[in-house]
Structure 1
Amino acid sequence: MNAIEPTRPPLQSVPQRAVPRTQRQQRRHPNRGTLVETTAKLTVNIVLSSAAISALAQLLPYHMSQQAKLSDIQEEVKRTEKRVNRLSDNFRRYFDPQQAKSVMQEQSHRVDPSQRQVVLMDSSTTEEEELKMAN
């Protein structure tokens, strides 16, 4: 039990192996791949965003001119609809058999002989002036 233990030789330092250069760089920058990928994505997104913004800036004046043209056309359509409605009403009236007699009188300025002509006079006129007008 009390045996003598053999002595150990003194520990010698193990010569370090030469680590390849790429492994040393990876140890210094372990997230370099992620950094490059993120930078590339960010650059592409910035380029695409700037292209989209410039395209919108060029389309804005065109859009405004188209809106102005559209409003002009809508106003013209409203005026035309009013005119069409008026002409349609006149057309229906002119071709209505019940109103044919009144339309003919309007168009020819003749009066039906069975109708009495009404002359409006001012109440301030005297009888003498009425006689002069009658003659």
Structure 2
Amino acid sequence: MNAIQPTRPPLQPIQKQRVTPRPKRHLRQRSYQIMALETTAKIAVNLAVSAAAISALVKLLPYHWLQQERLREIRTEVKQMEGRVNILQTEFSRNFDPQQNKVIMQQQAYRFEPNQRPVVLMNQDQKELAQPESSP
């Protein structure tokens, strides 16, 4: 019987290689470290961007204030010019009004119609003040 059966090597129990897996706790700890590092990097970048923005604002504020001051000056000049333009427009319309023609000629040429007399106003206070000074 031995001859008919092929010879087999003796059966040895198959040993499973046990790979010691990393404990999950170690993996979690490593992922927390990576997340902390990533968050720190984000905060650093945000702080750098914020610092650059604040620096730019600090440099731009004096320029903004100067522009506001110039704008105020221009607005006051515009108001003054509007007043002058209104006066000139009324004067222009008065000068070209045919009904005002005689009055304007009298004002500019000092000519009066024959039935009118010129009236000259004198300040009598000056005469009274001048007399006491001249007599000691």
| Residue 77, structure 1, aligned to residue 78, structure 2 | yes
User: What is the CA–CA distance in structure 2 between the aligned matches of 1:46 and 1:101, rounded to whole Å?
Assistant: 80
TM-score (norm 1): 0.67
1:106 aligned residue? 107
Alignment of structure 1 residues 49-88 onto 2, 5 Å: 49-88=50-89
User: What is the CA–CA distance in structure 1 between the aligned matches of 2:95 and 2:70, rounded to whole Å?
Assistant: 37
User: What is the CA–CA distance in structure 1 between the aligned matches of 2:101 and 2:59, rounded to whole Å?
Assistant: 61
Q: CA deviation at 1:95?
A: 0.3
Q: CA deviation at 1:55?
A: 0.1
Residue identity opposite 2:68 in structure 1 = Q
Percent identity over the alignment is 49
How many residues are matched?
Answer: 108
Runs (5+) with no aligned partner, structure 2: 1-16, 124-136
The CA deviation string for residues 26-78 of structure 1, in whole angstroms up to 9 with x for no partner, is 35434122112211111111011000000000001101111111111111111
The CA deviation string for residues 78-108 of structure 1, in whole angstroms up to 9 with x for no partner, is 1111111111110000000011110110011
Runs (5+) with no aligned partner, structure 1: 1-14, 123-135
Residue identity opposite 1:103 in structure 2 = I
1:10 aligned residue? none
TM-score (norm 2): 0.67
* Secondary structure at the counterpart of residue 31 of structure 1: helix
2:37 aligned residue? 36
